[in-house]
Amino acid sequence: NAGVTQTPKFRILKIGQSMTLQCTQDMNHNYMYWYRQDPGMGLKLIYYSVGAGITDKGEVPNGYNVSRSTTEDFPLRLELAAPSQTSVYFCASVTRQRPGNTIYFGEGSWLTVV
Amino acid sequence: AQTVTQSQPEMSVQEAETVTLSCTYDTSESDYYLFWYKQPPSRQMILVIRQEAYKQQNATENRFSVNFQKAAKSFSLKISDSQLGDAAMYFCAYRSGETSGSRLTFGEGTQLTVNP
């Protein structure tokens, strides 16, 4: 049981490049989330999903896209990277079943856009 | 959308003493969960304590306890007998219940310093 796995852990992108952050969970969780965390700040919700085929915008979705074709995977796509997207990205998942109060986090992906 | 407010960007405490971190939230929902997470410099998210809104009893985990005031929408964290290892950023989080979309929202965090 690996929990939530994020890849890559570190990445440097040039302005204008695109990339995908991968997130996989092996716990059959319905709910998955993507956050970004800027230095000294809290976690801002980018996108979330309540199940395969269903996604919704969070607080800061601009510049990102997601898909949820399977229960396990929730990739985050960055199109035309900008320096403002330099941040640490976290993926998280939660089960739908009660009590549903355990949040599993990935270890984070450090992204720098230069 | 729900909001979570941590009004103390920084707090400090002497080792072995007690400190309380504040958190308030805004919601119209009746079914939700509240959490406190600890984040050391490694950025790992470590669950400290959680509370289901339908439970009136305050949650406790060893030296950590909460004061959950549902009517006031307040969820403060008390750390007793503070230890050097408690120094970290602490985040309060709110999760909507399943019938309300299960959105998960974090506060801006409180940086806790523990002085020897």
Q: Could you tell me if B19 lies within 8 Å of chain A, comparing CB atoms?
A: no
What pLDDT does A40 receive? 83
What pLDDT does B29 receive? 86
Which among B33, B105, B108 has CB closest to A101? B33
Which among A40, A42, A50 has CB closest to B106? A42
Question: What is the residue-wise DSSP string for B60-92?
Answer: EETTEEEEEETTTTEEEEEE-S--GGG-EEEEE
Mean pLDDT, chain B, rounded, equals 92
pLDDT of A1 strictly over 60: no
Taking only the tens place, the pLDDT of each residue in A27-80 is: 989 899 999 999 888 999 999 998 999 999 999 999 999 999 999 999 999 989
Which of the four pLDDT bands, split at 50, 70 and 90, describes residue A2?
low
Which of the four pLDDT bands, split at 50, 70 and 90, describes residue A7?
very high
Q: Which residues of A fall within a CB distance of 8 Å from B52?
A: 99, 101
Strands (E), A3-53: 4-7, 10-13, 19-25, 31-37, 43-51
Taking only the tens place, the pLDDT of each residue in A68-97 is: 999 999 999 998 999 999 999 999 998 766
Taking only the tens place, the pLDDT of each residue in B15-67 is: 999 999 999 999 988 889 999 999 998 899 999 999 988 888 898 889 999 99
pLDDT of B68 strictly over 90: yes
Q: Which residue has the tokens 């309300």?
A: B100
Of A95, A99, A49, which Cα lies nearest the Cα of A76?
A49
Query: Which are the contacts of B115, defined by CB distance < 8 A and separation ≥ 6?
Result: B12, B13, B14, B15
Residue B51 distance to chain A (closest CA, Å)? 8
Q: Which residues of B fall within a CB distance of 8 Å from A45?
A: 103-106
Strands A109-113 and A10-13: parallel
Of A93, A112, A90, which Cα lies nearest the Cα of A21?
A90
Q: Phi first, then psi: give them for residue A4, nearest 5 degrees.
A: -105, 125
Which of the four pLDDT bands, split at 50, 70 and 90, describes residue A21?
very high
Query: Which are the contacts of B101, defined by CB distance < 8 A and separation ≥ 6?
Result: A50, A56
